[in-house]
Amino acid sequence: MHCQTEAAPRACVDVHALEAVALAATRSAAVASYDWVGRYDQKAADAAATKAMREALAQAPGRGTVVIGEGEKDDAPMLFNGEIVGTGNGPDFDIAVDPLEGTSFCAKDLPGSLATIAFGEPGTLWSPGPGFYMDKIVVPPQAKDVVDLDDPPERTLANVAAALGKKVSELRVMIMDKPRHKNLIARVLRAGAAVQTPAGGDVGGSLAVLLPTLDVDLLLGVGGTPEGVMTAAAVRALGGGMLGRLAPQRDEEADAIRAAGMSLDRVYECDELAAGDAFFVATGVTGGTLLDRPRKCEGKTTCESLLISRGEIRYLTHTTFE
């Protein structure tokens, strides 16, 4: 993210200041939703996270536009598409957001729920309009040039394995455990690869591909477009590979996409989903292999966050006092 150069520039982007705001937003959302962990009330958890994140984003030094939010897809409390946040005194920037990724995990106190957000330069984060779902491939940098969404999964596995210097039998593939993926999972298993099948949370699944310590080689399957855009910000920042294509799950969604003049066949590359400098932030809500959950002890709350920006992965621990 850099200085804007149009005839009447608003301001230069202070990336560190925006990173601090993004971290404050995800931490606030994580702490607020944590009060609803294990209470089997997804909408209440979502509402708490959204309210806390909106309040934190109101302090952003500039004018942020929510390009894509999660609530419209899930009929949940949301930061809505087109919403403007921030003080207005500073740079413009785009936001892709899911205040509570993995609401069912939060409601049932299962690992994997996160508060997530991505910031990008104005006009650079892709807006899918009425498209709520997309087919995705996410791979590490070594395999970014060998994948094609039109390839059968067997060919994708062979190409990725060769790029990574592995056998197909050594690959670990992340695919969400959804009815729509039954055939895909079966084909990947028959090809000889191992499969991880979380019930949801494809942002976390994509991050597992990008983070070398988590031993996942690629992500396949259909997930949400908000998660896809946030993932693209992280993939771009780390030089990985990603492809996406709209994959409506209902006739009404497909009709709305066509009515908006968008193609159901076009494949988007990572630098189209996140077309400029961007960064990604997540804070743990229910723990797991990626990030720990908030810890409350003796009047203190400690959160663990992840910041992916400009080729770097940073883990940050933050403690607040009541």
Q: Are 97 and 283 in contact (CB under 8 A)?
A: no
Q: Compute the residue count for the chain.
A: 322
Contact yes or no for 159/150 (Cβ under 8 A): no
Q: What is the DSSP letter of 198?
A: -
Q: Are residues 76 and 176 in the same domain?
A: no
Residue 262 and residue 239 in one domain? yes
The beta strands (E) that lie in the chain are given as 63-68, 84-85, 92-101, 114-120, 133-139, 172-174, 194-196, 218-224, 241-246, 268-269, 278-284, 295-297, 300-309, 312-321
pLDDT in tens, 201-231: 889 999 999 998 889 999 999 999 989 999 9
Q: Is 101 annotated as a binding residue?
A: yes
Rounded Cα gap, residues 217 and 160, in angstroms:
8
The answer on 266 and 155 residing in a single domain is yes
**Are residues 10 and 91 in contact, defined by beta-carbon separation less than 8 angstroms?**
yes
For 79-92, give the secondary structure using H, E and C.
CCCCCEECCCCCCE
Tens digit of each residue's pLDDT (9 = 90 or more) over 246-300:
999 999 999 999 999 999 999 999 999 999 889 999 999 999 999 999 998 888 9
Rg (CA), the chain: 19
Residues 284 and 267 in one domain: no
Residue 2 pLDDT: 53
User: 41: annotated binding-site residue?
Assistant: no
Looking at residue 10, its pLDDT comes to 46
Q: Report how far apart, in Å, the C-alpha atoms of 320 and of each of 46, 65, 125, 295, 300 are.
A: 22, 28, 32, 10, 6
Instruction: Return the structure tokens found at 73.
Output: 């897809």
Angle at 123 between CA 120 and CA 127, to 5 degrees: 90
Q: What angle do CA 238, 59, 78 make, to 5 degrees?
A: 70
Looking at the structure, do residues 100 and 220 belong to the same domain, yes or no? Answer: no
Same domain, 315 and 205: no
Helix (H, G, I), strand (E, B) or coil at 1: coil
If asked whether residues 21 and 57 sit together in one domain, one would say yes
DSSP letters, 263-318, are -SSPPEEHHHHB-S-EEEEEEESS--SS-PPPEEETTEEEEEEEEEETTEEEEEEE
CATH number at residue 253: 3.40.190.90
| Domain shared by 184 and 248, yes or no | yes
Q: How far apart are the first and last CA of the chain?
A: 35
List the structure tokens of 45: 């958890």
Asked whether residue 9 is domain-assigned, the answer is no
Which CATH number does the domain housing residue 54 bear?
3.30.540.10
Known binding residue 98? Answer is: yes
Q: In this predicted structure, what is the pLDDT of residue 69?
A: 76
Based on the structure, what is the number of domains in the chain? Answer: 2
Residues in the chain predicted with pLDDT less than 70, given as ranges, are 1-13, 70-78
Q: In terms of domains, do 263 and 284 share one?
A: no
Q: What pLDDT, on a 0 to 100 scale, did the predictor assign at position 9?
A: 45
- pLDDT recorded at residue 13: 58
- Quick one: pLDDT at residue 8? 40
- Strand residue runs (E) in 102-189: 114-120, 133-139, 172-174
Q: Is 148 annotated as a binding residue?
A: no
Q: Is the pTM of this model over 0.75?
A: yes
Confirm whether 224 is domain-assigned: yes
Instruction: Write out the residue range of the structural domain in which residue 19 sits.
Output: 15-124+278-321
* 322 is annotated as contributing to ligand binding: no
